[in-house]
């Protein structure tokens, strides 16, 4: 398969825009092909969210050096919204609330933008059924199908985006967006955090139904329990801004048993107390 078909990250060095000398990511190289699921695990503060933001074009982060290509094009040339139109998707670790904007309007606008793609076709207007767009009825039908799958109440649609949402509701809205936007490359940043065991199963099964030979996935997690559902073929351990070791599913099982300390030590990193204390086993379900 040619590089023109997937995501290629080479020697990526990233710093906060506010402090370009602080290299949070210190040379990340990673390739995600369609149909592949890659897990990124790593201690708190290792740079996982920074990687997801850098890939998505978050303005708070600056690319110091290295490259990212998506289907052969320089992804770094594009703004965050253009990257989304190109088929990239990020499910946030901490979704933001947008009081005043209803979930329904938000989703419809986002879907229309995604369906328009990057280059405007004057013959196609996703908001106009006469020009190939979705009717309100079609939109509703699609949304209700996905709401049902994610076991979310329809009343969700009239609420403001993430405003007063529980942690679990926020994560479900992220998955609802993914289901509707149909990305080709999805980054899930701790989509499992803060979910009870039932919510985790619903969300994980939701993601599972979206997996396809066309979709590349980068799933950031601390816990094996999400990986039980998503079954990544590749697992990478990120520490101090570098991928220190990559392997298969066994690597995640090992982290769950042993924590980060032994694997970091084996790779020449003397773990700090915080790194050694980052939990890798999810707390037992309370019910």
Ligand X SMILES: Nc1ncnc2c1ncn2[C@@H]1O[C@H](COP(=O)(O)OP(=O)(O)OP(=O)(O)O)[C@@H](O)[C@H]1O
Q: Which residues in this chain contact ligand X in the complex, by CB under 6 A? A: 16, 18-19, 24, 42, 44-50, 60, 93
Q: How far apart are CA 128 and CA 135, in angstroms?
A: 7
Give the H/E segment covering residue 67: strand 61-70
Residue nearest to Mg ion (CB): 49
**Residue 224 binding result from ligand X, Mg ion, none, given CB thresholds of 5 to 8 Å by partner type:** none
**Residue 109 binding result from ligand X, Mg ion, none, given CB thresholds of 5 to 8 Å by partner type:** none
Taking a C-beta distance cutoff of 8 angstroms, is the pair 150, 169 a contact? Answer: no
DSSP annotation string for 82-113: HHHHTTEEEE-SSPPPEEEEEHHHHHHHHHHH
**Residue 194 binding result from Mg ion, ligand X, none, given CB thresholds of 5 to 8 Å by partner type:** none
Q: How far apart are CA 31 and CA 81, in angstroms?
A: 22
User: Please, which residue, 152 or 221, has the CB nearer to Mg ion?
Assistant: 221
| Residue numbers at the binding site for Mg ion (CB under 5 A) | 48-49, 93
User: Please, which residue, 107 or 278, has the CB nearer to ligand X?
Assistant: 278
The CB-of-59 to ligand X minimum distance in angstroms stands at 10
User: Please, which residue, 18 or 96, has the CB nearer to ligand X?
Assistant: 18
Q: How far apart are CA 191 and CA 199, in angstroms?
A: 11
Helix, strand or coil, per DSSP, at residue 77: helix
User: Please, which residue, 59 or 213, has the CB nearer to ligand X?
Assistant: 59
The CB-of-3 to ligand X minimum distance in angstroms stands at 26
Taking a C-beta distance cutoff of 8 angstroms, is the pair 40, 51 a contact? Answer: yes
The CB-of-83 to Mg ion minimum distance in angstroms stands at 19
């Amino acid at each position: 398969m040619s590089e023109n078909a997937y995501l290629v990250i080479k020697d990526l060095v990233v710093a906060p825009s506010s402090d370009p000398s602080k290299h949070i990511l210190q040379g990340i190289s990673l390739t995600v092909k369609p149909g592949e699921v890659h897990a990124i695990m790593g201690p708190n503060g290792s740079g996982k969210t920074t990687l997801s933001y850098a890939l998505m074009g978050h303005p708070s982060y600056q690319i110091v050096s290295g490259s990212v290509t998506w289907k052969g094009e320089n992804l770094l040339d594009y703004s965050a919204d253009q990257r989304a139109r190109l088929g990239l998707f990020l499910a946030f670790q901490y979704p933001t609330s947008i009081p005043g904007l209803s979930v329904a309007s938000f989703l419809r606008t986002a879907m229309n933008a995604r369906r328009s793609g990057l280059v405007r076709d004057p013959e196609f207007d996703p908001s106009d059924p006469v020009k190939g767009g979705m009717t309100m009825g079609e939109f509703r039908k699609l949304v209700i199908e996905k709401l049902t799958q994610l076991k979310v109440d329809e009343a969700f649609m009239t609420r403001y985006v993430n405003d007063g949402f529980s942690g679990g509701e926020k994560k479900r809205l992220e998955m609802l967006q993914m289901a509707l936007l149909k990305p080709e490359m999805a980054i899930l940043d701790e989509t499992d955090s803060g979910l009870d065991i039932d919510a985790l199963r619903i969300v994980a099964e939701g993601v599972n139904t979206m997996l396809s030979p066309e979709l590349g996935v980068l799933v950031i997690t601390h816990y094996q329990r999400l990986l039980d559902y998503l079954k990544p073929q590749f697992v990478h351990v990120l520490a101090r801004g570098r991928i220190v070791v990559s392997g298969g599913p066994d690597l995640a099982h090992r982290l769950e048993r042993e924590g980060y300390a032994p694997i970091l030590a084996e790779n020449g990193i003397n773990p700090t107390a915080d790194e050694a204390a980052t939990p890798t086993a999810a707390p037992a379900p309370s019910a």
